[in-house]
Amino acid sequence: MRYIKIYLTCVRIAFSQAAAYRTDFILGNVITLLSNILFPLVTVVIYANGAEFPGWTMWEVLLIQSVFSMSNGLSAMLTNGVLWVTFDHIREGSFEIVLLKPLPPLFYLMAINFSTGSLGHFAGGLVLTIVSALNSGADACGIPAFLLLFAAGTAVMCGLDLIMAAISFKWVGNSRIPEIFDSISEFGKYPLGIFPKPLRILAAFVIPVAVVGFFPASALLGRSESYMLLAVIPCAVFLAFGIWLYNRMIKRYEGVGG
Amino acid sequence: MSWLKHKLEICRAVAFVTYNEWSAYRSHSLVSVFVGPVYFIVQYFIWTAVYGDSSSFGGMELEQTVRYFGVSALIGYLTMDFADWNLQMLVRTGKFLTFALRPVHHRFFALSQKLGHRVLGFIFEFLPCFLIFLFVFRIDIIPVHIGWTVLSVALAFLMNFYVNYCIGMTAFYFVQARGIRTVYQLVSSVFSGVLVPLSFFPGSVQWVMMFLPFQYTNYITAMVWSGSESIGELGLTIPQAVMFQGVATVVAALFSELVYRASIKRFTAVGA
């Protein structure tokens, strides 16, 4: 209960800070919204030229991508700040400031780095998801499975952020670490069937990025298969691994910067 | 002649120092050896699925499209630029003052830095990825016309730099110009042909793009590298496309000088 109160206070402060720099906040979110519009451009161009992903309509593919975007926006609000602040603290050799706080370091960093700037990302994904769902004949019966898989997908994205942050304890000052994981998450933005079987298994159960966009969208479209719900387990494991790794790497913090 | 020699000496010295400075972070560059092929694999499967049984899409065959994305990634390693970020940081913090006092134009200094940085990129990003694309993925990635390709890459290198430098100069007018950079990068990623070859866009869009700088930083060079015989809506030959690129680069260079002369008057050296 105490932690929830602290977290909510930090969220309130984050919004107050955003209100102090209103123009920057609004501009930042508008830009993010615009980037959301451009994000599915490849899909639109493909379908505008009369081609298609076999067995998928344009709105169905856009639904996958907008759910991915929504999940990405939500995880960015919750954990993406941890990555960059950890990265800076390690490079500066100032992580002791976090360790001295009377709270678990990971929780403290998550709370004070709630990102209001990612609201536009989430909102853009939400709007696009609703529009795509309405145009692709989504099935309301699939909403419970969708919500479960969406939560699992967001857990994967949060897990990725924490793993990246944990890596920065050893790979000091490498701002390109996120690119590695961004490239892997590309597999979650398209119908899984276009990839060969080994990559499908990898994206569904090992680094479960398919659960971020493809599985929830399939549930909403009534196209889910029984094995998809099983993928919730590796997602939980993935998040737990991220938390464990981050906490373990804190013990290896050397405090010398880099 | 001695003026040119002096300039080249400065350029070599700055490039050499930048190379050594960034060599300490060469493992950062090696990230591309993983990221580049992974993005390529995704693109390969996307376009293989999209083409299906059809032989051509947007005027390009599957093999051409796959090669386009490989080439496009390689061009990115050769021309990557962050002059905009660097200049904005210098102006915002007031550190630009140290450059304003030096007997070297900051743009020339920044260009020399970019040369050194990209030599490093050539060794640790371009070469490994080139070999992976060629021998692992077995893409026909060798330029068809090496002379035209080298010239086109050089022009893309300069074009990218001049345009980014202009974006960086917005920092003289705004305290925080990060938003402008983000918008530019967003628009550029679409209209430079990094996400999709411009030939997949409607003819009218391609025609408008002839008068904007974006396609000269990637698309034209990728098509020249691939040896395309008819580039864009105008159906340009390779020499014509490179000529257009050359003219656009000269215009961008002149424009950046005009903006620089107007902007430098606003520099207060106070920082923010």
Tell me the C-alpha distance between A137 and B175, whole Å.
47
Tell me the C-alpha distance between A231 and B35, whole Å.
25
pLDDT given for residue A110 in this prediction:
92
pLDDT given for residue B38 in this prediction:
93
Percent of chain B beyond pLDDT 90? Answer: 57
When scoring B32, B33, B41, B77 by the number of chain A Cβ atoms within 10 A, the one with the most, hence best to mutate, is B41
pLDDT given for residue B123 in this prediction:
93
Give per-residue pLDDT as tens, A36-72: 667 788 888 889 888 889 889 999 999 999 999 999 9
Q: B51 CB near a chain A CB, below 8 Å? A: yes
Other C-beta atoms within 10 Å of B164: how many?
25
Tell me the C-alpha distance between B191 and B206, whole Å.
9
Give per-residue pLDDT as tens, A128-186: 999 999 999 888 888 999 999 999 999 999 999 999 999 988 888 777 888 888 899 88
Give per-residue pLDDT as tens, B93-150: 888 888 888 889 999 999 999 999 999 999 999 999 999 999 999 998 999 899 999 9
Q: Do A53 and B49 touch (CB under 8 A)?
A: yes
Tell me the C-alpha distance between B156 and B265, whole Å.
29
pLDDT band at B271 (very low <50, low <70, confident <90, very high): low
Residue A223 pLDDT > 70, yes or no?
yes
Helices and strands, counts by H and E, chain B: 13, 2
Contact (Cβ atoms closer than 8 angstroms) between residue B177 and residue B266: no
pLDDT given for residue B268 in this prediction:
78
pLDDT band at B272 (very low <50, low <70, confident <90, very high): low
- Minimum distance, in Å, between the CA of residue A109 and any CA atom of chain B: 24
Amino acid at site A136: S
pTM for the full predicted model: 0.87
pLDDT given for residue B148 in this prediction:
95
Task: Tell me chain B's radius of gyration from C-alpha atoms.
Answer: 19
What is the average per-residue pLDDT within B30-43?
A: 90
Residue B2 pLDDT > 90, yes or no?
no
pLDDT given for residue A41 in this prediction:
83
Q: What is the DSSP secondary structure assignment for residue B194, as one 8-state letter?
A: S
pLDDT band at A199 (very low <50, low <70, confident <90, very high): very high
φ, ψ of residue B229 to 5 degrees: the values are -90, -15
CA angle B130, B221, B171 (to 5 degrees): 100
Residues of chain A that touch chain B, judged by Cβ-Cβ distance less than 8 Å = 24, 27-28, 31, 34-35, 38, 41-42, 45-46, 49, 51-54, 171, 173-177, 179-180, 182-184, 186-187, 190-191, 194-196, 199
Residues of B in contact with A52 (CB under 8 A): 50
Return the HEC string of B132-187.
HHHHHCCCCCCCCCHHHHHHHHHHHHHHHHHHHHHHHHHHHCCCCCHHHHHHHHHH
What is the average per-residue pLDDT within B8-34?
A: 89
What is the average per-residue pLDDT within B209-231?
A: 91
Residues of B in contact with A53 (CB under 8 A): 46, 49-50
Q: Which pairs with CB-CB distance under 8 Å and at least 24 residues apart come from A226-233? A: A228/A149, A228/A204, A229/A145, A229/A148, A229/A149, A231/A149, A231/A152, A231/A204, A231/A205, A232/A148, A232/A149, A232/A152
pLDDT given for residue A146 in this prediction:
93
pLDDT given for residue A258 in this prediction:
64
What is the average per-residue pLDDT within B2-15?
A: 91
Q: Do B183 and A34 touch (CB under 8 A)?
A: yes
Residue of B nearest to A28 (CA): B179
pLDDT given for residue A23 in this prediction:
73
Question: Who among B34, B58, B183 is closest to A49 (CB)?
Answer: B58
Nearest Cα to Cα of residue B169 among B272, B255, B78: B255
Give per-residue pLDDT as tens, B171-211: 888 766 777 888 888 888 888 998 889 988 888 888 899 89
Chain-wide mean pLDDT for chain A?
88
Other C-beta atoms within 10 Å of A92: how many?
12
More confident residue, A147 or A20: A147
Q: Do B39 and A183 touch (CB under 8 A)?
A: yes
pLDDT given for residue A162 in this prediction:
94
pLDDT given for residue A172 in this prediction:
81
pLDDT given for residue A71 in this prediction:
94
Beta carbon pairs, A and B, within 8 Å: 79
